[in-house]
Amino acid sequence: MLTERIVPFEAADGFACNLIHVRGEREPDKGPVLLVHGAGVRANVFRARVQTSLVDMLVDHGYDVWLENWRASIDLPPNPWTLDQAALYDHPAAVKKVVAETGSPEIKAVIHCQGSTSFAMSAVAGLVPQVTTIVSNAVSLHPVVPRISEFKLMVAVPIVSMLTPYLNPQWGLHAEGLVPNLIKGLVALTHHECDNAVCKQASFTFGTGAPTLWRHENLNAETHEWIKQEFAHVPLRFFQQITRCVRAGRLLSVEAFPELPADFTAQPPRTKARWAFLAGERNVCFLAESQVRTFDFFQKVRRDYHSLHVLAGYGHLDVFIGKDAAADVFPIILDELDRAH
């Protein structure tokens, strides 16, 4: 039986975020682990309708689990966030809050997609020195997408940005106004892979795939249905940044904050953390090559220290929400977290 409490924290610019602290029946005997969600979802994305979620497994193995709702979370008010804002304002504040709440000077992190890119930015800029082990899924410093998705980003993002400040997979269920209805109609015309309107809108929002974010055969029916409540607003401001980064092949800052480098790969990373990179071999949102390149980048800094796991048969988010992830993926994550750094 798990219990949870919401622990509010203020990002460095005053934006109100929160952590979900999950506990089991026994006291954790391992240190804190921070889980960081991606774009257009929320902290709850790590608790899919499966027999054993990653949260269950971490708690069972004695970890003290903290789920971060950063400014991209759909539990928080829509805002035109950038990766820079998350890297400078949100993640360092979340890490400090966990350190303060637990009294542990060191923590570990499991980070996914845009939670991973932005957290990697914090790490290489030297803003989260308390984090000793980082398990990253899908993409970190080098976003690589299929060529058709890059074309879509370059063509569609400037046009859609003029029409709406946000995309929202909930439009599949409730569309009000011209642009939401136009996009709902476009998705209905072009996506026939299932009858879940949010699943199809999420595929449209995050790239080119049917579906884009998981392989249907990796999800159970309950999780496929649960997706309907787990995806909502994503700002075009983010898509503008990721389009620049995809074209450059690496993460670039867009806000000119003096604490962040212009190019996150142009200087040695200011982190001593050990990295474990996960990449779904069948990921069509961000290709596995994304993580291969960042692993190579860290290998050059310190050889035979970091690790890379290319997961056969897995896509993007099914690494965490897949029906067999507890058998196929979570033991790898546990093993990486358990290793002495």
Tell me the closest approach of the beta carbon of residue 215 to Zn ion, in angstroms: 10
R_g of the chain computed on alpha carbons: 19
- Selected range binding Zn ion among 124-132, 141-149, 192-200, 271-279, rule: CB under 5 A: 192-200
Per CB under 5 A, the list member of 194, 254, 310, 332 interacting with Zn ion is 194
Q: Which of 82, 168, 196, 223 binds Zn ion (CB under 5 A)?
A: 196
| CA 277 to mean position of chain CA atoms | 13
**Residues 16, 20, 21, 23: what is their CA dihedral angle, to the nearest 10 degrees?**
170
Measured from the CB atom, the residue of 190 and 267 that comes closer to Zn ion is 190
CB of 324 to Zn ion, least distance (A): 17
Q: Which amino acid is at 86?
A: A
- Select the span of 80-88, 135-143, 191-199, 323-331 touching Zn ion (CB under 5 A): 191-199
According to the binding rule CB under 5 A, does residue 199 interact with Zn ion?
yes
Indicate the helix (H) or strand (E) that contains 92: helix 91-102
Of 65-73, 130-138, 189-197, 249-257, the window that binds Zn ion (rule: CB under 5 A) is 189-197
Which residue number, 136 or 201, has a Cβ lying nearer to Zn ion?
201
Return d(Cα 111, Cα 137) in angstroms, integer. 6
Q: Using the minimum distance from each CB to Zn ion, give the nearer residue, 92 or 209.
A: 209
Cα 283 to its chain centre, rounded Å, is: 14
Q: How far is CA 326 from CA 48, 52, 54, 142, 162, in A?
A: 11, 6, 7, 27, 42
The residue among 198 and 273 lying less far from Zn ion, judged by its C-beta, is 198
Of 140 and 196, nearer to Zn ion (C-beta) is: 196
Nearest CB to Zn ion, comparing residues 159 and 221: 221
CA pair distance 275, 293, nearest whole angstrom = 13
Strand pairing class (166-167; 131-137)? unpaired
Q: How far is the CB of 216 from Zn ion (least distance, A)?
A: 6
Who's near 100: CB < 8 A, 6+ residues apart? none
The verdict on 138 binding Zn ion (CB under 5 A) reads: no
Using CB under 5 A as the binding rule, the residues of this chain from 264 to 323 that contact Zn ion are: none
Residues that bind Zn ion (CB under 5 A): 194, 196, 199
